[in-house]
Amino acid sequence: MKCWPRIIPYSVRACLLGTLLAAGLGAAESLEERVERLRHELVAAERELAAANEASVEELAPVEAAELAQALNVPIDALVIVASDQGQGSGFLAEIRGRRFLVTNIHVLGSARQANFLTAEGQTLSFGDIAFISRQRDLAIIPLDWDGPVFEALASVRDQGISIGDAVTVIGNSDGGGVATRVTGKIMGIGPHEVEVDASFIPGNSGSPIIHDKSGLVVGIASYVRNMDRSSWTTSGTTVPTVRRFGYRLDGDVEWDQISLDALWRQGEAFERYEKRTRSLIDIAYHLMYERRILSGYRTDNEIGYMFGDIGNNFHWNRGTASASNVRLLENFIRQLRTELQRDRADARRVIQVDHYRKRFEELDAARVLFDQRLSNFRL
> Residues with Cβ < 8 Å from 37, sequence gap 6 or more?
22, 23, 29, 230
Encoded amino acid at 30, one letter:
S
Say yes or no to pLDDT of 368 above 80.
yes
**Mean pLDDT of the 38-44 span:** 56
- What is the per-residue pLDDT for 28? 46
pLDDT band at residue 54 using 50, 70 and 90 as cut-offs: very low
| Run of H or E residues at 52 | helix 31-53
Say yes or no to pLDDT of 358 above 90.
yes
pLDDT band at residue 68 using 50, 70 and 90 as cut-offs: low
CATH of domain 66-229+240-254: 2.40.10.120
**Mean pLDDT of the 20-24 span:** 45
* pLDDT digits 0-9 by tens, 195-221: 999 998 876 688 999 999 988 899 999
* pLDDT digits 0-9 by tens, 329-352: 999 999 999 999 999 999 999 999
How do the domains of the chain map onto residue ranges? Answer: 66-229+240-254, 259-377
Of the listed ranges 1-15, 88-102, 306-320, the one predicted with least confidence: 1-15
- What is the per-residue pLDDT for 234? 37
Report percent pLDDT > 70 for the chain. Answer: 74
Say yes or no to pLDDT of 224 above 50.
yes
- What is the per-residue pLDDT for 235? 39
User: Is the distance from CB of 269 to CB of 3 less than 8 angstroms?
Assistant: no
* Full-model pTM: 0.79
Say yes or no to pLDDT of 93 above 70.
yes
Q: State in words which class domain 259-377 has.
A: mainly alpha
- What is the per-residue pLDDT for 296? 80
- What is the per-residue pLDDT for 318? 79
Encoded amino acid at 360, one letter:
R
